[in-house]
Amino acid sequence: MAVPARHTSKAKKNKRRTHYKLTAPSVQFDETTGDYSRSHRVSLKGYYKGRKIAKANAAK
């Protein structure tokens, strides 16, 4: 059975784990609606690249 040759210290383990992190989603300001939305996605009001392409979802 495989066994580690040396004990992995807490510092070594934590340094390795520093690269596991979340990245903030890219958000862009939409001048048509005045809201922030994610790039390459339809806004909540139904706009994409400044054009109305879908009906907006009604808030329930």
Taking only the tens place, the pLDDT of each residue in 26-48 is: 998 988 888 888 889 888 888 88
Look at residue 58 in the predicted model and tell me its pLDDT: 63
C-alpha–C-alpha distance, residues 23 and 13, integer Å:
21
Mean pLDDT estimate for the chain = 85
Please check whether residue 19 lies inside any domain of the structure: yes
Let me know if residue 60 belongs to a domain: no
Residue 32 lies in a domain: yes
Note whether residue 17 is domain-resident: yes
Residue 3 domain-assigned (yes or no): no
Dump the DSSP string for 20-31. Answer: ----PPPEEEET
**Count of structural domains within the chain:** 1
The answer as to whether 15 is a domain residue is: yes
Q: Does this model's pTM top 0.75?
A: no
Q: 32 is in which domain, residue-wise?
A: 8-50
**Residue 11: pLDDT above 90?**
yes
